[in-house]
Amino acid sequence: MNAPEMETELRRVLEEAFDTEEMPWSDPNALALAGVCSFEEAGVMTHNSGLVVSVPDGSEFQVTIVQCAFARAER
């Protein structure tokens, strides 16, 4: 797996975990997402992979994905 593949998987997990269509939020203070997009989609000037996570109150968070180890070749 590489950084762009991890970005895709993390985005999928976040979108599924916080799908407001399938998960009714009875607690108005419960964590919910307003949106998730890639750094590229958000226009973030970087060569790193990552996500911009937005929440309903207008806050945004950047999650940078940096691969720090590589898979070992199988023998």
Tens digit of each residue's pLDDT (9 = 90 or more) over 16-60: 887 755 555 555 556 677 889 999 999 999 999 999 999 888 889
Position 9 in a domain: yes
- Residue 24 CA to residue 61 CA, distance in Å, equals 23
Position 72 in a domain: no
Position 35 in a domain: yes
Position 18 in a domain: yes
Q: Any idea of the CA torsion for 8, 14, 15, 19, to the nearest 10 degrees?
A: 170
Q: In total, how many domains does the chain have?
A: 1
pLDDT, residue 41, reads: 95
| Domain hosting residue 59, numbered range | 3-22+30-65
Position 45 in a domain: yes
- Residue 74 CA to residue 25 CA, distance in Å, equals 45
Position 41 in a domain: yes
Residue with the larger pLDDT of the pair 64 and 33:
64
Tell me which residue of 56, 10, 9, 13 sits closest to 32, measured CA to CA. 56
Residue with the larger pLDDT of the pair 42 and 73:
42
pLDDT tier for residue 2 given thresholds of 50, 70 and 90: very high
Position 48 in a domain: yes
pLDDT, residue 20, reads: 56
